[in-house]
Amino acid sequence: MFTRMESAGTTDLHFCLDPASGLRAIIAIHSTHLGPAIGGCRFLPYANELDAVEDALRLAKGMSYKAALAGLPHGGGKSVIIYPEHEFDRHKLMKAFGKFIEALNGRYITAMDSGTLTTDMDAIACSTRWVSCTSQSGDPSPYTAIGVIEGIKAAVHYRYGKQDLEGLRVAIQGLGHVGMAVAAHLAMEGVHLTVTDIDASLVQTAIKEYSAHPVTPDAIYDVDADIFCPCGLGAILNDATLPRLKAPVIAGSANNQLAEERHGIALAERGILYVPDYVINSGGLIYVALTHANEEASVIRHKVMQINPTLQRIFQQAEDAKMAPFLLANQMAEQIFTSSKDQPNLGRDTYENGL
Ligand code: NAD
């Protein structure tokens, strides 16, 4: 267990068993150097307990990178509730989970993730204030979409030397909460859209509202576009899809787009600009963190807009260092959350000034 924690660089791992509610939960805290750890709660069935621990460790680490480059005064954390095999009272279970979080005294702030709902966050909020994404705080997706648009603009400026998006061709994979909002923004800016989703009704909406051209889910990888915008699944940049991609830029909200690190390196070698996913999709985390800190909407929006200059800096520095931008982003994030050990105020400065 300690070897696994060490390789994930995680400082603490907490377990909670509450037989009365059926709660079996794990909280992984990767780092609190910049501030309290923040990250969502997954509520899923796991094949075994070790898989649940691995998931929490891996995801908590990812959140540290995301928070660092978003310039937030937070470290990364993640929690996992193992879906009970027997009947259970969901509200009671979530309240018990809230007590578990409360016992950590503010070291970890939870939010929604796969399998959890706003109503779960409301139940957790009955036991602790260290929770976001309640029905009062609202949906982070519109802010994720704003960040994706800023990321696309940064990539277009860097790759095509253009200040606006008019006339560009963008292929969007996935028209859910984020993808549809991105489609709406892009259509407003005069972008030609090609779209896909496994849900035909969402495709119909995009055709009707944004004059989008539909393709089947598998055909999206072959679209001749200026930008490929993955807003559905993870691991879509893999051995099977890489040879098919025609777009010189990949910029979308999906988490963990690279199946493996080597796929990111292969994209860079082919001259394709892959915009690091955890930077371009950090608008949601910024919203969650700053809403929890009771910041005004204008402050949150301003912070999300900083994704654009942050990415421009990453692209330029990566070019200077002859590195793939996603690798440089990792280095920058690591520098932020490790150097703060010796400079305790770095998190606050980064937060106020943008990265
Ligand atoms: P969502 O579930 O609302 O939308 C995903 C969409 O992708 C759905 O409409 C689904 O039908 C579609 N889809 C699934 N498989 C597909 C396939 N094979 N081909 C085409 N379409 C497919 O999710 P979301 O909240 O819009 O998030 C989209 C992605 O962005 C996810 O990877 C998520 O982890 C990531 N993300 C979301 C947020 C946020 O604020 N919602 C923040 C950061 C990252």
Q: Do 219 and 348 share a structural domain?
A: yes
Contacts of 80 (CB under 8 A, 6+ apart): 25, 26, 28, 41, 42, 43, 44, 46, 52, 53, 55, 56
Question: What H or E segment, with its residue span, contains residue 347?
Answer: helix 346-353
**Which range marks the domain in which residue 247 is found?**
139-355
The response to whether 178 counts as a known ligand-binding position is yes
Tally of structural domains, the chain = 2
Q: Do 289 and 146 share a structural domain?
A: yes
Q: What is the pLDDT of residue 341?
A: 52
Q: Do 198 and 101 share a structural domain?
A: no
Q: Do 279 and 192 share a structural domain?
A: yes
Q: Say if residue 314's pLDDT is above 50.
A: yes
Stretch 164-172: mean pLDDT = 98
Residue 244 lies in a domain: yes
Q: Do 184 and 88 share a structural domain?
A: no
Q: Whole-model pTM? A: 0.93
CA of 170 to the centre of ligand 1 (A): 17
Output the domain CATH number for residue 165. Answer: 3.40.50.720
Q: What is the pLDDT of residue 353?
A: 32
Residue 28: beta bridge partners? 13, 78
Residue 132 lies in a domain: no
Q: Say if residue 229's pLDDT is above 70.
A: yes
Residue 220 lies in a domain: yes
Residue 158 lies in a domain: yes
Q: Do 145 and 33 share a structural domain?
A: no
Residue 134 lies in a domain: no
β-strands 75-82, 23-29 pairing: antiparallel
Q: Say if residue 340's pLDDT is above 80.
A: no
Contact by Cβ (8 Å): 164, 147: no
The response to whether 77 counts as a known ligand-binding position is no
Radius of gyration from C-alpha coordinates of the chain: 20
Output the domain CATH number for residue 9. Answer: 3.40.50.10860
| 3-state SS, residue 37 | strand
β-strands 249-250, 273-274 pairing: parallel
Q: Do 317 and 198 share a structural domain?
A: yes
Model confidence pLDDT, tens digit, residues 264-285: 999 999 999 999 999 999 999 9
Query: Which atom of ligand 1 approaches the CA of 230 most closely?
Result: 29
Contacts of 19 (CB under 8 A, 6+ apart): none
CA of 228 to the centre of ligand 1 (A): 15
Q: Say if residue 182's pLDDT is above 60.
A: yes
Q: Which residue of 146, 197, 215, 278 sits with most ligand 1 atoms within 8 Å of its CB, as the best mutation to test the pocket?
A: 197
For ligand 1, atom 4, the nearest C-alpha belongs to 176
Q: Do 186 and 113 share a structural domain?
A: no
Contact by Cβ (8 Å): 60, 78: yes
Contact by Cβ (8 Å): 37, 68: no
Q: Do 264 and 295 share a structural domain?
A: yes
Quote the tokens at residue 304: 């999300």
Instruction: State the pLDDT confidence band at 138, using cuts at 50, 70 and 90.
Output: confident
Residue 310 lies in a domain: yes
Question: DSSP readout, 149-184?
Answer: HHHHHHHHHHHH--SS-TT-EEEEE--SHHHHHHHH
Q: What is the pLDDT of residue 344?
A: 43
The per-residue pLDDT of the chain, averaged, comes to 94
Residue 70 lies in a domain: no
